[in-house]
Amino acid sequence: MAKINAGRVIAGGLLAGVVLNIQSWIVGMVLMPYWRELAKTGLLNTPGPAAIWSNIADFMAGLLIAWLYAAIRPRFGPGPRTAIIAGLAGWALAWGYAAIGQLVWMPCVWQKGAVTMAAGGLIGSLAAAWLAGWVYVEPSGGGRRRKHY
């Protein structure tokens, strides 16, 4: 069984984190008017430290997706198919799970936000996984470099 190339996982995870931060910013711009209305009613805190933690969480999700790609690559092979599987798993763990919780606990208040965030997270997760997979190469024992995809 091949070892995971930790350096490439970190590089791919950081790149994936940048993609997820961009995706979060776009979703935030789409939902900004809705969030302002919720903040006026007191149902949502104003941004501040939450934005910093959101950026950190996006980088952590990027690292998770890159690690998932590296972990399942020996079984599924290199390429976009494996990246899609890793992206869907990362999305389910990060955004899908959160969206279900938001819909269950605040169905009348947060439906638009939960669906928009889950859809944006799906697009971002798939793009992040594709880039993380593109960056990742497994270490080779003979000094030869293996191909990305």
Distance CA 91, CA 37 (A): 27
Residue 1 reports pLDDT greater than 70: no
* Residue-level pLDDT at 51: 81
What is the distance between the alpha carbons of residues 17 and 11, in angstroms, rounded to a whole number?
10
Query: What mean pLDDT do residues 101-130 have?
Result: 82
Whether residue 62 contacts residue 16, with contact meaning beta carbons closer than 8 Å, is answered with: yes
Q: pLDDT confidence of 142, banded at 50, 70, 90?
A: very low
Q: Quick: pLDDT tens for 124-135.
A: 999 999 999 999
SS3 category, 145: coil
Contact 121, 94 (CB under 8 A): yes
Of the ranges 22-36, 53-67, 119-133, which one carries the lowest mean pLDDT score? 22-36
What DSSP letter does each residue of 91-109 carry, written as one string?
HIIIIIHHHHHHHHHSTTT
The pLDDT of 22-49, averaged and rounded, is 81
**102 against 63, higher pLDDT:** 63
d(CA 73, CA 92): 19
Percent of the chain with pLDDT strictly greater than 90: 50
Mean pLDDT of the chain: 85
Residue 91 CB-half CA count within 13 A: 20
Residues in the chain: 149
pLDDT of residue 139: 73
Q: Supply 61's token pair.
A: 């999700």
Strand extents, DSSP E, the chain: none
Please tell me the pTM assigned to this model.
Answer: 0.83
